[in-house]
């Protein structure tokens, strides 16, 4: 059953007493960053940007966790990658953040905030809300990721290599999330 003041799915599933909110947040941020890292391993290799489930995980976590916890989760993930842990699709290290795919990775912070706020506002409760939030997040990824990629390959190639191949997959990811999140909320109703 959902907590009456729950604004996110994470709060509805696990709303601890105030004293244990920090350990809960740490646990969820670490678990979420592990999920993002694992989802990066589900991929179709392409150059310069592989198709992965990593963006799906970031978007889903943002909707389910809300902006603050999603920012912490993505921040942990990016820090782990910057420190060299192999949490990105191609490995880890600062070179990934500075290389052609860096804009896509850094966009996760913007997604965590924007899509997380959408989750806090109830967008994760309906099929249309989730779809709109997922597509908004995908647009952020495209703008930041392809914008950064264009510095390496030019704008035309950035669109051809960094946006067009991902459109169908991102629509499928949005449909999957639109099926999962509202169903999860429905299971929590009395």
Instruction: State how many domains the chain has.
Output: 1
Residue 18 in domain: yes
Strand pairing partners for 52?
43
Q: Which helix (H) or strand (E) holds 80?
A: helix 67-82
**CATH at 117:** 1.10.1760.20
pLDDT one digit per residue (tens) for the chain, 190 residues: 344 456 898 888 887 666 568 888 999 999 999 999 999 999 888 777 778 999 999 999 999 999 999 999 999 999 999 999 999 988 899 999 999 999 999 999 999 999 999 999 999 999 999 999 999 999 999 999 999 999 999 999 999 999 999 999 899 999 999 999 999 999 887 6
Q: Is 2 among the domain residues?
A: no
The partner residues of 43 in beta bridges, in order of sequence, read 52
The answer to pTM > 0.85 is yes
Residues 6+ apart with CB under 8 A from 65: 8, 9, 10, 28, 32, 73, 116, 119
Does residue 3 fall inside a structural domain? Answer: no
Which of 104, 111, 43 shows the shortest CA–CA distance to 73? 111
Predicted local confidence at residue 3, as pLDDT = 46
Condensed to tens digits (0 to 9), the pLDDT of residues 93-106 reads 999 999 999 999 99
Task: Give the pLDDT of residue 17.
Answer: 61
Structural domain contains residue 23: yes
Indicate the SS3 state at residue 52. Answer: strand
Q: What are phi and psi of 44, to 5 degrees?
A: -115, 110
Please write the tens of the pLDDT for every residue from 136-174.
999 999 999 999 999 999 999 999 999 999 999 899 999
Range of the domain at 121: 9-188
Number of Cβ within a 10 Å radius of residue 17: 7
pLDDT given at position 5:
52
């Amino acid at each position: 059953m959902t907590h009456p003041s729950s604004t996110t799915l994470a709060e509805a599933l696990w709303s601890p007493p105030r004293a244990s909110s920090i350990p809960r947040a740490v646990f969820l941020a670490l678990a979420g960053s592990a999920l993002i890292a694992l989802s990066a391993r589900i991929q179709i290799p392409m150059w310069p940007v592989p198709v992965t489930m990593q963006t799906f995980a970031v978007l889903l976590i943002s909707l389910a966790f809300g902006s603050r916890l999603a920012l912490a989760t993505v921040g942990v993930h990016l820090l782990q990658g910057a420190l060299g842990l192999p949490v990105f699709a191609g490995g880890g290290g600062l070179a990934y953040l500075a290389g052609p795919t860096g804009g896509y990775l850094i966009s996760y912070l913007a997604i965590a905030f924007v899509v997380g706020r959408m989750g806090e506002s109830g967008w994760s409760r309906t099929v249309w809300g989730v779809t709109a939030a997922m597509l908004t997040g995908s647009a952020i990824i495209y703008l930041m990721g392809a914008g950064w990629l264009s510095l390496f390959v030019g704008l035309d190639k950035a669109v051809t290599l960094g946006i067009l191949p991902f459109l169908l997959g991102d629509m499928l990811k949005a449909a999957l999330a639109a099926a999962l999140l509202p169903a999860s909320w429905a299971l929590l109703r009395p």
